[in-house]
Structure formats: C-alpha cells, structure tokens
Amino acid sequence: MEENIPDNQGGARHSRSNCELSQLSQLAELPVDTLKELARICRPLRFQTGQIVAHEGERPDFIGFVHSGILRMQKTLEDGRQHIVGLLVEGDMFGRVFDGPLNVSVESVADAEVCAMQRAPFESLLLRSPELDRVVLLNILDELDRARDWMIILAKPKVKERLAGFLMVLCSRFAGVDHILRAGSGTIDVKIPISRTDLAHLLGSRPESISRAFHALADGGSIAIKKPDLIEIQDMDALCVVAGDEDAGNHPTMEHLLEFLHGRDD
C-alpha cells in the first residue's frame, strides 16, 4: 500500500511510489535511460479539488506533467477579477523551462495527480537529451495551438457559438481523456469537466447565459441535456455549424469518434 505524506507544495500530498511515466504518451517513447533519469527526479503530487498547484508570479521548483485529473490556468486581471484562460489534462506539461515566473496560476478542477520533475535536474537533462527537448517543444507548440483555438472560440459573438466550439474541443482534444467522452447508441455522451461558473469564466459569459446556450443547442437538435454536467451529442455536423468552425475537417466525425471510443473500451 502506498503511504501518503505531506508535501510542502501548497499542501499537496505525495506518494513514496514512483511516477508512472510510461503511462504518459508524450514520455513513453523516450529512451530507457532518459526515462530512468526522469523517474529519479520525479515525485507524484496529489491535489484536491480547488487546490493551488502553482501560484501566478512564482517560479515553482518543478516542471509538471498532468498524470490524471484536470487543472485550470487562471489569470488575475488588473481589477482583481480572475479569468480562466485554459485547461490542462492528462499528459499536458506546465511550468516555464529556463525562464522566469509563471504568468498564470494553476489550480485543480477535480482531484488530480501531477508528475513533478525537479526543475534544475530536468533542465540539465533537457540540455543532454534531444528526445526530451523534442517533447518539450511539441508541448509548447500544442499550447500555442490551444491558445489559437480559444481565441477563435472567444471571438464568436454569441454564447451559443462559443459553447458549441467548447464542446467541439472536448470531442477532439479531450477524446483520449478517460471519463470525458462515452460512446452511446449512435451518439456521444460528454461529461462537462468543469462547473458552470468555471465554464462561464472560460467562455467570457455568465452561468445564466451558459444555461440558456445549452438549452438553445438542445432545442436545435444538436445535443440533449441528460444532467447539468452531462450532455449527449446527437448531431456533430449541426454542432460544428453552430460553432462556425471553418476548420471543421480537423475535428473527428461522429462515426470516427464512436469507432475510437468503442476501440478504447475493448
């Protein structure tokens, strides 16, 4: 049995067991020697819902990879308001390598586990390992792509359009995240991984407007609302039309996504 002991990182708890790095797709293909070095400098940190993982303006002593759960990146505005600027899911990296303090805070949306790599030895290994350097570069490029996607979504004038875009992101980028998507009988069940309040912050709206947008999508036939945090996508093409996505070809079709989800459950 694992023994949990307190950690000094924001009240997180860590386990005496090693991080299971081979389960992270981004790291699984690294050379064995590199994985061993990473395992040596890694400690698994566990965070409860709402707990701070890293503070804005601080320089954490670790580089993190999300092992399980979902984290949110939050920015404090000049007037003191906080705005969610993105989500981190299984496999995502956070932390500024060879750089200064974080420009966002990182918080757990639900219970989460992070593989925390000690910063100094991680940066040293990065200089010696082109394979690890490639992993970090690809994570940075993925982050830029996600930022572009959020900008496109937030540029939509109607909350219904932004919400449709968010659901399309869940069906593409989050497809491989356990518990988010489930295959139904020709439909897809989507569990909304954040609260209505957080979703409103993310989409630049209010919870009441988000609720009306969900019902508008349901009235249009693209989704059905099963629970406040569980919806059923009935018509992916119609949802894409509402989202106004000019790059619709980059999103999986209903058939391909159902095939993927059924294959994952086998």
pLDDT digits (tens, 9 = 90+) for 53-109: 999 888 888 999 998 888 989 888 777 777 788 888 888 899 888 888 888 899 998
Q: Could you tell me if 90 and 67 are in contact, meaning their C-beta atoms sit under 8 angstroms apart? A: yes
Question: Given 149, 164, 190, which residue is the final one in a domain?
Answer: 149
Which pLDDT score is estimated for 173? 78
Check whether residue 170 and residue 42 sit in a common domain.
no
| Count of domains observed in the chain | 2
Residues 139 and 186 occupy one common structural domain: no
Which pLDDT score, from 0 to 100, does residue 194 have? 85
Note down the domain range covering 20: 4-149
Name the domain boundary from 91, 120, 149: 149
pLDDT averaged over consecutive 10-residue blocks of the chain (266 residues)? 38 55 80 91 91 90 90 83 83 86 88 92 94 91 83 88 91 76 85 88 90 95 92 90 70 74 66
pLDDT of residue 1: 29
Q: Is 102 helix (H, G, I), strand (E, B) or coil?
A: coil
The pLDDT of residue 8 is 42
The two three-digit tokens of residue 30, written as one number: 């690294």
Q: How many CB atoms lie within 10 A of CB 15?
A: 16
Antiparallel, parallel or unpaired: β 52-54 and 62-68? unpaired
Beta strands (DSSP E) in 78-191 are 82-88, 93-94, 105-108, 112-118, 181-183, 188-191
Instruction: Answer yes or no: do 101 and 219 share one domain.
Output: no
Q: Cα separation of 68 and 192, whole Å? A: 16
pLDDT at 178: 67
Q: What are the tokens at 72?
A: 């949110």
Integer angstrom CA distances of residue 9 from 5, 54, 81, 114: 12, 8, 25, 12
Q: What are the angstrom distances between the C-alpha of 17 and each of 9, 57, 62? A: 17, 30, 18
Q: Please indicate, yes or no, whether residues 176 and 211 belong to a single structural domain of this protein.
A: yes
Neighbours of 251 (CB within 10 A): 20
Record the pTM: 0.78
CATH of the domain at 183: 1.10.10.10
Domain boundary among 117, 149, 181: 149
- pLDDT of 15: 46
* Residue in 158, 155, 154, 148 with CA at minimum distance from that of residue 209: 158
C-alpha 45: how far from chain center: 17
236-243 and 254-265 helices cross at what angle (nearest 10)?
120
CATH of the domain at 35: 2.60.120.10
Quote the pLDDT of residue 209.
Answer: 95
